[in-house]
Amino acid sequence: MGAAMFYHLTQRPLVDTLRMLLEKSLANGWRVAVRGTDTAALEQLDEALWLRPEDGFLPHGMAGGPHDAQQPVLMGTGDISANGAQCLMVVHAADVSAPEVAAFERVCILFDGHDEAALGHARSQWKTLTGAGASAQYWSEESGRWEKKAQS
């Protein structure tokens, strides 16, 4: 059974935290799906992941192409399971269900701590997922480094 990891972003931009988590997931041998709510916002993340850092390479692609099944990291909206991902990363207040948390090795929910709507959505997801019996952890970077602050 998987776990939902909530990442409360207050110090670093989304793209930097996403890159860090993607690199760790790929190092674990996992394929990853990145789910968002807005294709244009995902395309901006896609471009930023290709451009930074200059000395690194993070293989990924946008869903809907002919090679979705081969992508180690597949980004899109809705169901993006074509690459057989073991890890789901959720950005831009996309929804995730308790059955999805159970189906994946890990679900990472990244949310902007300076956006009241994003905070509210994350709180609602925490209540919904933990209320349905999903395992969850809350991580904060408020101190400048990632620390686990709660677990259910």
pLDDT tens per residue across span 97-133? 999 999 999 999 999 999 999 999 999 999 999 999 9
Domains of the chain: 3-151 (3.40.50.10110)
CA atoms within 13 A on the CB side of 73: 22
Three-state SS across the chain? CCEEEEEEECCCCHHHHHHHHHHHHHHCCCCEEEEECCHHHHHHHHHHHHHCCCCCCCCCEECCCCCHHHCCEEEEECCCCCCCCCEEEECCCCCCCHHHHHHCCEEEEEEECCCHHHHHHHHHHHHHHHHCCCEEEEEECCCCCCEEEEEC
Neighbours of 29 (CB within 10 A): 8
CA distance 98 to 45: 26
Instruction: With 0.85 as the threshold, say if the pTM is over it.
Output: yes
Per-residue pLDDT tens, the chain, 152 aa: give them.
689 999 999 999 999 999 999 999 999 999 999 999 999 999 999 988 887 666 677 889 999 989 999 999 999 998 888 999 999 999 999 999 999 999 999 999 999 999 999 999 999 999 999 999 999 999 999 888 999 999 99
Phi, psi torsion values for 135, nearest 5 degrees: -75, 135
